[in-house]
């Protein structure tokens, strides 16, 4: 049995009965498997992205209600800091305003806090209530 290497790097062996057998190196199989896995991964990402776009287009905005609402008059500084657009500094200002001016009578009173404007109120409104 004789063996020779082709220009493509394949080993060609001649068997006793004269038929040629080509052995592919393991690196070619690994490269093929890697390409296949990459194609599957990209396909999954593309399908998920389309599904998310389709889902968000069909879902009404009203369905995205917050799971938790904070009472402006009872919320702690840590709880207030979790609101969108409110950080630790603004949360401390809210508590200072509540101590200085008394309880909030409505959610709209939130804008009386220095640094809180109409845009911040609009972002936080779904998460706030006043009892």
CB-side neighbour CA atoms (13 Å) of 88: 0
Local confidence band at 66 (pLDDT 50, 70, 90 cut-offs): low
Euclidean distance between the first and the last CA atom of the chain, given in angstroms as a whole number? 92
- pLDDT of 55 strictly over 90: no
- Rounded CA gap, 107 and 62, in Å? 19
- pLDDT of 52 strictly over 50: no
Cα–Cα nearest to 71, from 87, 51, 94: 94
- Rounded CA gap, 102 and 113, in Å? 12
């Amino acid at each position: 049995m004789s063996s020779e290497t082709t220009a493509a790097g394949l080993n060609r062996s001649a068997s006793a009965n004269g038929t040629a057998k080509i052995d592919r190196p393991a690196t070619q199989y690994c490269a093929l498997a890697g390409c296949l896995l990459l194609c599957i991964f990209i396909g999954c990402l593309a399908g998920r992205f389309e599904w998310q776009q389709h889902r968000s287009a069909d879902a009404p905005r009203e369905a995205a209600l917050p799971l938790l609402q904070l009472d402006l008059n009872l919320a702690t500084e840590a709880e207030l800091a979790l609101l969108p657009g409110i950080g630790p500094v603004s949360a401390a200002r809210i508590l200072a305003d509540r101590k200085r001016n008394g309880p909030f009578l409505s959610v709209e009173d939130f804008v009386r806090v220095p640094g809180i404007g109409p845009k911040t109120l609009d972002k936080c409104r779904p998460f706030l209530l006043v009892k």
